[in-house]
Chain A
Amino acid sequence: MIAEYGQLALTFAFCISLALAVVPLYGSFKGNQIALELGNPLAYALFFLTAFSFWALSYAFWANDFTVVYVASNSNSLLPWYYRLTAVWGGHEGSMLLWLLVLAGWTAAVALFSRSLPLQFQGRILGVMGLIAVGFYAFVLFMSNPFMLSLPYFPVDGRDLNPLLQDFGMIIHPPMLYMGYVGFAVSFAFAIAALMGGKFDSTWARWARPWTLAAWMFLTMGIMLGSWWAYAELGWGGWWFWDPVENASFMPWLVGTALIHSLAVTEKRGTFKSWTVLLAIGAFSLSLLGAFLVRSGVLVSVHSFAADPDRGLYLLAFLLLVVGGSLLLYAIRMNSVRSQARYELFSREVLLWGNNIFLLTATLVVLLGTLFPLVHKELGLGSISIGEPFFNQLFYYLVIPFSLLLGLGPWVRWKQQQVQPLLKPMSLIAIATLILALGTMAATQSIQANLALLGLLLGAWVGSSAIFELLQRLQQFGSIKQGLTKLNASHFGMTLAHIGFAVLVVGVAMTKTYSVETQVRMKAGDQVELAGYQFKLVEVYDLKGPNYNGEAAELDVSYQGDYVTHLHAEKRFYTVQRSVMTEAAVHARLSRDLYVALGESLSEDSWALSLYVKPFVRWIWLGGLLMSLGGLIALCDKRYRRRTASVEQKDTADA
């Protein structure tokens, strides 16, 4: 019965989204106060109805209600309760409902936190959010309804959740990603609302900044969790695959990163206006494109949901309407805008422009790599595939100038920077870079001119520049102690995020260069040496879980005779889905991971095992974590609240 209520709530929510798309926009163009003020309650209603609907589906999973088709195909009564709840977003329909919940959540948040914005502008933002919502609610309700029932003949038990998705990383990875994707809808709505108004100053950029930052923070977190999940769950020690769907999440991230920086220029200096609007449209458009690629089946990917050309067609039409419409609006409105601010060649504006260029080039590389096979085939030139070497090579070239700029950027003033005063700190940083990079190299491996050294140099350059810059900035307040209380949070956030990038670069370069692996056949008692570590297989025994059977291997690892750790690797056979999963054993340290995956049983007493030693692989996720933490800290900056308050005062003063 609960599922029917969920369906009902979703239907009401769709009607509310229609109202939200029409009423506040009507009010904003006709100057109708009542219509404008209806925006907020509509947004809240949308959120509560969607939340109820989502709760109803979760309840169906919790209660093993297999009359619901979606529950029956994604859950099983043997599935532990926490995976039953996360199975809600384990398939296409439920993940779309999660998407709606996130969209309604962002809409309600905009209504709640933007009350200090001019009513007309807020009404337009909510209206644009409503327009987006109509498209998605209709899609879920009419084309991918999770509440479809199989009555009167319903299955006794369900088909179980895909074992790949039965993992902690999977519990929070999709919600985080969706928070990011859909969060860019808010930046998009701000940009479109500004375009509708036609009067272009930098105020919209100021208002859009915290929202963009929040979306970016979630997306960073989501991508990082996805990478970690793949590493832990897929059993071959990889952490990024350039899979079309990973690319689909990476593109909005790259554009979102460019947007954060470009918004800063627009807000502080009043330039880059048309550029920033384009990026705001671009970030959300790429999120939508990602949703299309994942859910239409045009590309082959491990992430794809069941392909359905009708769904694909609908999403493409929606994409055309939203992206095409907003780009057209952009083209018509933007060409009258001109930037007045002036800046010299060596200035922060130009460096941030460089940042944007590199990030957009990277986006273009990913976009081309992802879609070129499709274009190539549709042109009748045959099937091709573009893989890791293409992306890796182009990213090597891009990351070098990008990192060099990044080390320099925060030191450079707006408008104009003299070269002379920067010489001293820059040479100091260069010396620190050399010491750090060569020192790390000597301490962990041997000094060689290779990719790892390049990564360490770039990472150390960015990292030490960020730290020195922070120290110098703090000293300007008299003493470091005083500075710590006075310097604004967004500066700390920026520094932390830049350090995160440095850590990430070091992690990638070291892992790429120094990872070693071996596939071996082992019996209990056998010992294998890899990169100085002795892996000893102690025993292998049978395993019985709630919804799987399997085998577990116990290993002892020692380094030059000293005991390091005990490892427990599993191989599970999920009975309902009839699929085999590896639960790799990982011993993680900052300097390296030991990674063991149990393979096939080769004969009665011997097993195939994959052993990996991966130096610095933790740094990759640590870097991602630091970046999103930086975003969070920047978000706490007081001035985002103070500024909106002052806007309110100004508005009342104007009135």
Chain B
Amino acid sequence: MRKLAFFIPFVLFIGLSVFLFSGLFSDPMERESSVLNKALPAFSLPDLQQPDNLWTADKLKGKPYLLNVWGTWCVTCNAELAYLTELREQGVMIVGLYYQQPSDAAFGEVFNLAALQQEVALKLEQQGDPYQWNILDKDRSLIFDLGVTGAPETFLIDAKGMIRYHHIGDINPQVWQQKLAAAYQSLEE
């Protein structure tokens, strides 16, 4: 027994090394999404183009879809519009969650819905329109509840309204193939 005790430091060290080794290959900045495998948080937000139409979490149930957080001010979001449009043409349902930046009253900024509607329509006309419709989150409440750190981010939501995947960053052919396609197809079936 006493002889074996002298091996304890060695064994502990080897155990530690295993973790150090696996730590080398993961990004320490990476954070797991806290909303994964939970229901879409409750909300009631207007449609961007038809503000009288209010969207809720229940209304969106029934079919798996992508919820894409974006804004015309976000360069990366604009870059992914073309590929998202391609996905829409393949039959993927994509709902836009419009990320409105706060208006700074000190700089004389006032929120102007008509101007925004025009800007969004123009942008989608130029770059391609992947969205079935856009939900306007003017006060960023749903965006906050979803734990969004920036735009673009995309959530894969199943027919029952459960969040199945949270992707931070743009969606391009590679990301779609490697991360989202399989998950989306399994929800389709």
Contact = CB atoms under 8 A, between A and B. Distances in A.
Interface of A: 274, 278, 281-282, 285, 292, 296-300, 309, 312-313, 316, 319-320, 323-324, 327-328, 330-332, 334-335, 371, 374-375, 377-378, 382-383
Contacts of A383: 30-32
Contacts of B7: 331
B59 interface: no
B24 A298 contact: yes
Contacts of A378: 19, 22-23, 26
15 contacts: A274-B6, A278-B9, A298-B24, A298-B28, A299-B28, A309-B25, A312-B24, A316-B17, A319-B17, A324-B14, A330-B10, A335-B6, A374-B28, A378-B23, A383-B32
Given A299-B28, A335-B2, A335-B3, A371 B19 contact: yes
Given A313-B24, A371-B16, 16 more contacts: A274-B6, A282-B9, A300-B28, A320-B17, A324-B10, A327-B10, A327-B13, A330-B6, A331-B10, A332-B6, A334-B6, A335-B3, A335-B6, A375-B19, A378-B23, A383-B31
Nearest to A281: B9
B110 interface: no
A300 B31 CA distance: 12
B42 interface: no
A338 to B, nearest CB: 9
A324 B10 CA distance: 6
B14 to A, nearest CB: 7
Nearest to B25: A309
B20 interface: yes
B105 interface: no
A382 B26 CA distance: 12
A326 to B, nearest CB: 9
A401 B17 CA distance: 33
A430 B133 CA distance: 78
Contacts of B115: none
Contacts of B29: 300
A114 B189 CA distance: 77
B26 A330 contact: no
Interface string B18-52: 01111111101111100000000000000000000
Contact of B6 (A312, A331, A382): A331
A331 B9 contact: yes
A309 B3 CA distance: 37
Nearest to B16: A371
B18 to A, nearest CB: 8
B74 to A, nearest CB: 23
A379 to B, nearest CB: 8
Residue with the greatest number of chain A CB neighbours at <10 A, chosen from B10, B14, B20: B20
B52 to A, nearest CB: 41
Which 6 A/B pairs are nearest by Cβ-Cβ distance? Answer: A327-B10, A298-B23, A335-B3, A331-B6, A331-B7, A312-B24
Contacts of A382: 32
Contacts of A309: 24-25
Residue with the greatest number of chain A CB neighbours at <10 A, chosen from B6, B7, B16, B19: B6
Contact of B20 (A274, A316, A332, A377): A316
A327 B26 contact: no
Contacts of B5: 335
Nearest to A300: B28
A108 to B, nearest CB: 30
B142 to A, nearest CB: 23
Nearest to A298: B23
B26 A377 contact: yes
B104 to A, nearest CB: 15
Interface in B138-177: none
A335 B10 CA distance: 14
Nearest to A332: B6
A298 B20 contact: yes
B2 A297 contact: no
Contacts of A300: 28-29
A7 B174 CA distance: 42
Residue with the greatest number of chain B CB neighbours at <10 A, chosen from A292, A324, A334, A378: A378
